[in-house]
Homo-oligomer: A and B are copies of this chain.
Amino acid sequence: MNTFGNIFRFTGFGESHGAAIGGVIDGMPAGVRIDLDAVQRELDRRKPGQSAITTARKESDTVEVLSGLMDGVTTGCPIGFIIRNENQHSNDYDQLRTAFRPSHADYTYTAKYGLRDHRGGGRSSARETATRVVAGAFARQALEQLGISVQAYTSQVGPITVGADYTALDLSLTECNAVRCPDPAKAAEMEDFILGVKREGDTVGGVVTCVVKGAPAGLGDPVAGRLGAQLAGAMLSINAAKGFDYGMGFDGVGMRGSEAIDLFRRDGSMPPRTLTNHSGGIQGGISNGEDIYFRVAFKPVATLMQDVETIDAEGNPVTLKAKGRHDPCVVPRAVPIVEAMAAIVLLDAVLMNRGSRIENLKFKI
């Protein structure tokens, strides 16, 4: 299944080395003026070749929107788009026609489907996430009109971390460095660390933290559609993601209830606000009007610039030569992908929520 969302739905297609990737954005509310340059800018944030710490592979990644707009405004009809693939070195992948790379999807796709597109990882390549960034960019523009913003940043690379408290950071600095870490000193450390790992032909993992501001209380549909559950599902669908937590998350395990509890302000202000936000803006699966924040853990990717001992489809030992152009750390480029998936989940939650009360349904034409 290649569809995300319930009412706001994105269905993607495309492999790393096919003719194009693309998708259909369905359920986009009508009447949103779209800044297509802003959509392209999101895509540019994800694209390879941006700096020394990302893959040297160069792709222009130009989005072509094919439907759903009239004079630059969404019409409520589905938005189809494509991004042509280019700069394909398919020959780089000839040795993969029969071999299974370890910790990749080569074997599992073959086990499931009986065959696979071996060029550049085919559908299992992170290349398809470019289409999610486009969909997320549309969602983000709708959310902006509702006062909801989504911002992610690199909070950890290998052992280097900026700490759990995002309120102590100036998130406007995130895009000022190649790592996308809003703490300039830590960013420099992280960059050095990644370059060191790269020199060794190795890779390293990291964590992306994401903060959603401006979400009103009431988003999320218990019990299957709890907002935390939807975010978790969306984040774990990203390549190389291995973990998710929100609010106090895994750190909360060691806390006492009396510490972790978010007391309400008792200053009479309405709607109610809390003094702390260990809940991460979600209580009972529904947003409570505070910031929503969560973390996504990314593994060190398995594509090393080293020779690798592995097997082929018949189980025979083979040695794969280091080839191709890969990221030593996916986290910097994962930042816009996390934002995109968050925006998709949030806009869908807004749309799902409009039916929660009968009084919202009264109409007049």
Q: A20-B67, A302-B261 are in contact. Are A274 and B205 (CB under 8 A)?
A: no
A43 touches B (CB below 8 Å): no
CB of A358 within 8 A of CB of B31, answer yes
Taken together as a complex, chains A and B put the C-alpha atoms of A76 and B128 apart, in Å, by 15
Instruction: Find out whether the CB atom of B113 lies under 8 angstroms from the CB atom of A205.
Output: no
User: Hey, which chain B residues are within 8 Å of A263, CB to CB?
Assistant: 102, 308-310
Chain B proximity of A83: nearest CB distance (Å)? 10
Contact A202–B288 (Cβ < 8 Å): no
Interface string of A54-85 (1 = CB under 8 A from B): 00000000001111101001111111101000
Contact A13:B261 (CB < 8 A) given known A7-B355, A18-B67: no
Most B C-beta atoms less than 10 A away, residue of A19, A82, A223: A223
CB < 8 Å: which of B14, B250, B317 contacts A80? Answer: B14
Task: Give the residues in chain B near A271, CB-CB below 8 Å.
Answer: 111, 365
Known: A26-B2, A297-B249. A76 touches B113 (CB 8 A): yes
A258 adjacent to chain B (CB < 8 Å): yes
From A45-53, A179-187, A233-241, the one touching the partner chain is A233-241
A314 to B272, CA, bound (A): 9
CB proximity of A46 to chain B, nearest CB, Å: 15
Q: How far is the CA of A358 from the CA of B6 in the complex (A)?
A: 17
Q: In the complex, are the beta carbons of A216 and B103 less than 8 A apart?
A: no
Nearest residue in B to A70 (C-beta to C-beta)? B117
Residues of B contacting A361 in the complex (Cβ-Cβ under 8 angstroms): 29, 142, 146, 350-351, 354
Taking CB atoms, residues of chain B closer than 8 Å to A364 are 216
**A240 vs chain B, min Cβ distance (A):** 9
> Hey, which chain B residues are within 8 Å of A243, CB to CB?
243-246, 249-250
List 18 extra interface pairs beyond A111-B288, A202-B258, CB under 8 A: A3-B3, A13-B24, A19-B67, A21-B66, A76-B109, A103-B278, A124-B222, A159-B254, A204-B257, A218-B363, A228-B237, A229-B233, A242-B252, A252-B297, A255-B299, A256-B300, A266-B310, A271-B365
* 5 sample A-B contacts, Cβ–Cβ < 8 Å, listed by A number: A21-B80, A242-B247, A257-B301, A257-B303, A350-B361
